[in-house]
Structure 1
């Protein structure tokens, strides 16, 4: 059963945007989902993440409005299984019967076998952090649809893309990268809003941050993951939370962020 609607939202909720060539984004309350176009099939897409609880209608409506009634979804790839990235997946799978791919270490959380650890409300100041013990952290069970990502780093249906293990926020967190345009879909490995602060979330104040601290049990590993992403020298940061950043090489910014996170 899906989690109930959660009133956490931002001024950008419901806003669709062109995030990069062949990548369309949609803000779902406080989180972003991305539709990546298949180069060989212009009407076919892969969905990255599945938004907040009770948002399936918003995501389906955006797809049809933006791409037309002949829109075809080929697969869903989850950067990780937190509630704000899988909230609408059951509703989406009712509409489109497609495979779902996750890292092997994320499987227990999407097959009903293991819950995420408790939130850490004192990890950082801010109202969202204080409210975090109220957020869902239980597993879901989509065993009939979910598969593990290929071990070679390839991305099903998306030949131009590769996936990168970026643990720390969760054990099986992944990001995706495309050389063309140096586009990084970071999930929550890197975000562009201080997610712990309600005012910043509401107005989507654009700043580069590490993953939400209240749901990040391994800060040291999260910092190592950011260092790994810095090595890719991305020029477009498409994040799970916050307005995407683009137009420069973000290597030095990510290294600085990783160092700052490692020193906490």
Structure 2
């Protein structure tokens, strides 16, 4: 695992940084696609874990959640407005024909959500922020004392910081408001669902222009 900040590690993926998962103290944040199960468990076996958090109910973020939670007997926590989508494995599609077609593809195994996270809740020293748009119940995790932000898919950083693809985003206007909110925090370290870590907060602001 790659250490990024005190108590925060990135689980290496293939290819690197394409679909990210993080270990925050003893909490796993996101679980990649269903194909990531073995890679994740190889890195997590032997570690003390207390919970698994999903930033949002898209198959590339809760794809291996059921397998991980079953293997380590973990409760799954997610944004309250995304809990039903994970419990039933029926993600809310974005508007339009292509998202509806994509929603018919095989989805990950469903899993019960033990705790619906809301604004202001605490997870492993981070504060939960409600940042809907990419999905109805998207959350971010913010640690104020050192400016570490786990933003899920509110931003992508595949080549440079941008918003997520419109055809995968439930409400683009809401996501834009969430982007503004997170950029306004001026984080010192931003960890994305997709892309490399970023230590230059000004680049988030430029993504809004």
TM range (shorter): 0.7 to 0.9
TM-score normalised by length of structure 2: 0.87
RMSD: 2.5
Matches of 1:78 and 1:240 in 2, distance apart?
11
Q: CA deviation at 1:95?
A: 1.2
- Contact 1:80–1:170 (CA<8 Å) still a contact in 2? yes
Match of 1:217 in 2: 170
The answer on 1:236 being equivalent to 2:205 is no
The answer on 1:50 being equivalent to 2:3 is no
Q: CA deviation at 1:135?
A: 8.2
TM-score normalised by length of structure 1: 0.70
Q: Give the 3-state SS of the residue equivalent to 2:176 in structure 1.
A: helix
Q: Residue deviations 1:117-166, cap 9 Å, x none?
A: 2676889xxxxxxxx838847575312x53212x451224x1x2101111
Greater C-alpha Rg: 1
Match of 1:226 in 2: 179
Structure 2 residues without counterparts, runs of 5 or longer: none
Q: CA deviation at 1:19?
A: 2.3
Matches of 2:176 and 2:106 in 1, distance apart?
23
Q: CA deviation at 1:46?
A: 0.2
The answer on 1:255 being equivalent to 2:208 is no
Which of 61, 72, 93 is 2:42 aligned to?
61
- Contact 2:91–2:103 (CA<8 Å) still a contact in 1? no
Matches of 2:126 and 2:161 in 1, distance apart?
23
- Contact 2:79–2:137 (CA<8 Å) still a contact in 1? yes
The answer on 1:133 being equivalent to 2:118 is no
Runs (4+) of structure 1 exceeding 3 A deviation are: 118-123, 132-140
Q: Relative to 1, partners in 2 of residues 1:136 and 1:26: Cα closer, same or farther, differing over 3 Å?
A: farther
Q: Give the 3-state SS of the residue equivalent to 2:20 in structure 1.
A: strand
